[in-house]
Chain A
Amino acid sequence: MMTSKMWVTMGPQHPFSHGLWTLKVKIDGEVITDAIPIIGYLHRGWEKECENRTYPQIIPMADRLCYSASMTWSHVYVMAVEEALGIEVPERAQYLRVVADEICRIQSHLMWLAAMGTDLGNLTVFLWSLREREMFLDLFVKLCGQRLTTNYPRIGGVRNDMPYLFERDCMRVVDLFEKRLWDIIALMDDSAIFLSRMQGVGRISRKEAANMGLTGPGMRGCGVNFDVRRDDPYEVYDLLDFEVPVHKDGDAYARYAVRIEEMFQSCEIIRQAMAQMPDGPVRIKVPRNVPAGSHFARIEDPRGEALMHLISDGTDKPYRLKVRSPIFVNVSGAKRMVLGTRMADVPAIMGTIDMCLGETDR
């Protein structure tokens, strides 16, 4: 019998692609024999745009790199500039940045969990996750005035101090969230259907993962024990006590489990940071012009390792700003992940990458 293979274009307008990207898959029946990821629908020339703006003006633009990790992106940018300026940020500002980072990490992971739920056909997980995420977005509203585009870190500190009663709100939200997260876990981890969809799907070995340059939960799900927060500490992460979850399996479930555990650890970090937070100023005045030089900073984004490479030339505008986006690298290995799986697994596997096209295409 003659069989022929068929190219199916998934995206850019397709329910599985959370954002504008395309995965062309070649299917033999339902089994995928080839795949081509295509990106670039959202290329804005972000790095070039930044060469025309002064250093403070880039912070709100860095928020726009990723809709759900805006805090970490502006954070890594100001870290790169502070590196170039060679200044030390006040300690309270560092703690505030850590708190905001972890809130951002939780809400980003919840957004991922929601998308994961719809990818697997479970709308309940979607809505429950978004309900929890709303609490963290409310915290962002109180802290920095907006839900998604936080614009909170500043070169030399943060925008403002904690508002009145923010600490109490934060503790309440974190406690409530930890309680409710077990409900979502019960919905997913205790369900045989969910486990059968996730376990053993999209397996990557540790060597492949390292070679592909995977970072973040995708990498830790493959057994690589590395976290920028712990092994290359920035801000005050070396003063905080937290675990880095590592899973050996390297399948979609491992990536899921690592992310869930990271949310618990982030709650713990928020608690510790709030308890340890010293009094003091939150922002120092910095010179307008950045001395010439080439500097970079890296940070643990919710999706992986975010790196910004800044080349300054002594003026008040950067000469070149390069963004190393974790998803940009992770999605380049999409072919390897989906090869040999079934078409129905594509959303499950690509869902665990946690796509965000703003930072991928820049």
Chain B
Amino acid sequence: MSFSDWVNISDPLANPNSPYGVTENIPYSVGSGLWEIIGGILAWIINMIVPGNRLSPWLISDAVTNALGLVLMVVVFFAVIFIVNLTMIWIERKVLGRIMDRRATRIGPLGYLQCLADGLKTFLKEHIMPDKADKKGYMWAVSIVIGSAVLIAGMIPLSPRWFLADYGTGLLIVFGIFAVSPFMILVAGWAQNNKYSLIGGMRAAAQMISYEIPMLLVFVSVVLMAGSLNINDIVQFQMDNTWFIIPQFIGFVVFMVAAVAEAERIPFDLPEAEAELVEGWQTEYGGMKWGLIMLSDYFRGYVACALGVIMFLGGWALPFMDELVIPEIVFLLKVILLFFIMVWARGTFGRIRTDQILNIGWKVLLPLAVLNLFIVVLLKMGGVF
């Protein structure tokens, strides 16, 4: 069946070839509904100016509504994630402010709009590129870093009815793209032609690669226990049995430590260790590029927390009250709870040294992850799950 066949069916739920099958997809419904409003208004205005034209009926046809509904679905989805990210930044600043006994953000109600003000400020800054930088590497590497962060943020479903894509191998793809950025960080650190950023890039690559492995081992044990790579299935399995944090507590701890390292946050923020490396691999990035890098850091933090929620904390489920709560809200609250722990750790600890971070990764986390895998295999063989 061709694309035109698909778009010409008006009700997505009745569309047997919909990418979402027969499931409900709220962002898509909202997107289509939005286009019905926007397109309707556009068609009405154009019809008033040029009565009897052929554009107006086309704008409100099923095909256009379906196609632009897909576009607006992405917009809606990212608007929500963006707001969640702003909230996370706001929470981080507020919590850090409380921990440190100081004032935190101040613009807007409860200081919520500070991030927007900062974004506007970085947006208006001058675009500066070092003269001797490798131009292609400088621009493309950071674009891929930011792009991959945004991409994986889009791959995390908030609930079975709020997602962009529902792949059978969803979790695998998320982890795959999660691992792209270390290489690009290395390229970016090299391309800036700056010693600090080069050292920072090398550190980033070394650290992230060594923390990928325990993270993937934990991921494997989760997948093994759930018997599926599909995020929905994993969460459904936890709803049917028990949250994975109970049998796999070691795995949860390993995952959270590795996630903090992957998100480059204190105590594992060596690539941008400001005490010795100025700003690490981001030294020569200024203006909005730096702002986007910061935002992508939070996107990665969001993804790390969301993966933790999906894999260990039962995703959007709350026991005994599945019918009472809105699953998206539950999911985001759990994400923010995990993020709060990361912020708390940031307010409590200092930075770890390079050799120590690798020691922790290889000598502590990796054996623990293997132990976790072993426990899971035992449980599986014993038929507990």
Contacts and interface: CB of A to CB of B under 8 A. Distances in A.
A8 B195 contact: yes
Interface in B246-289: 266-267, 269-270, 273-276, 278
B350 interface: yes
A317 B269 CA distance: 54
B199 A343 contact: yes
B275 A119 contact: yes
Contacts of B147: none
A326 interface: no
B342 to A, nearest CB: 15
B196 A8 contact: yes
B352 A15 contact: no
Nearest to A25: B276
B55 interface: no
A131 B348 CA distance: 17
Given A118-B275, A193-B267, A347-B275, A124 B353 contact: no
Contacts of B88: none
Contacts of B195: 6, 8
Interface string A178-210: 000000000100010110110000000000000
Contacts of B101: 127-128, 131
A343 B99 CA distance: 29
B320 interface: no
B3 interface: no
A10 B352 contact: no
B96 interface: yes
Most chain A CB inside 10 Å of its own CB: which residue of B101, B102, B196, B275: B275
Contact of A120 (B348, B350, B356): B350
Given A16-B275, A120-B275, A127 B100 contact: yes
Interface residues of A, number: 33
A38 to B, nearest CB: 17
A344 B354 CA distance: 7
Contact of A124 (B269, B278, B347, B356): B347
A22 to B, nearest CB: 14
Interface in B54-104: 96, 99-102
A193 B350 contact: yes
B279 to A, nearest CB: 9
B100 A347 contact: no
Contacts of A117: 350
Given A131-B101, A342-B354, A344-B270, A123 B96 contact: yes
Contacts of A268: none
Nearest to B347: A124
A345 interface: yes
Nearest to B345: A193
Contacts of A119: 275
B356 A121 contact: no
A6 B197 CA distance: 13
A261 interface: no
Contacts of A118: 275
Nearest to B266: A121
A128 B102 CA distance: 9
B275 A121 contact: yes
B351 interface: yes
Contact of A191 (B348, B354, B355): B348
Most chain A CB inside 10 Å of its own CB: which residue of B101, B266, B273, B353: B353
Interface residues of B, number: 27
A15 B100 contact: no
Interface string A93-107: 000000000000000
Contacts of B267: 121, 193
A223 B349 CA distance: 29
A14 B273 CA distance: 12
Given A15-B275, A124-B99, A127-B102, A344 B348 contact: no
A114 to B, nearest CB: 11
Nearest to A15: B274
B350 A197 contact: yes
Contacts of A191: 348-350
A121 B349 CA distance: 8
Interface in A231-270: none
A208 B247 CA distance: 55
Contacts of A343: 199, 276, 354
A200 to B, nearest CB: 11
A248 B357 CA distance: 28
B284 to A, nearest CB: 15
A30 interface: yes
Interface string A115-157: 0011111111111100100000000000000000000000000
A321 B381 CA distance: 84
Interface string A9-44: 010001110000000000100100000000000000
Contacts of B352: 193, 196-197
A194 B348 CA distance: 10
A346 interface: yes
Interface string A42-79: 00000000000000000000000000000000000000
Contacts of A10: 276
A191 B353 CA distance: 14
A342 to B, nearest CB: 6
B70 to A, nearest CB: 44
B257 to A, nearest CB: 12
Contact of B276 (A6, A16, A187, A194): A16
Contacts of B273: 121, 344
Contacts of B199: 8, 27, 30, 343
B350 A344 contact: no
A362 to B, nearest CB: 27
Interface string A257-299: 0000000000000000000000000000000000000000000
A342 B274 contact: no
Contacts of B355: 30, 342
Interface string B197-233: 0010000000000000000000000000000000000
Interface in A313-350: 342-347
Given A121-B269, A127-B102, A128-B100, A194 B274 contact: no
7 contacts: A15-B275, A121-B349, A191-B348, A193-B350, A343-B199, A344-B270, A344-B275
The 10 A-B pairs with the shortest beta carbon distances in the complex, nearest first, are A121-B351, A120-B350, A122-B350, A127-B100, A347-B275, A121-B350, A344-B353, A119-B275, A193-B349, A124-B100
Given A121-B267, A344-B275, 18 more contacts: A6-B195, A10-B276, A30-B354, A119-B275, A121-B350, A121-B351, A122-B266, A122-B350, A123-B96, A193-B350, A194-B349, A197-B350, A197-B351, A197-B352, A197-B356, A342-B353, A344-B270, A344-B276
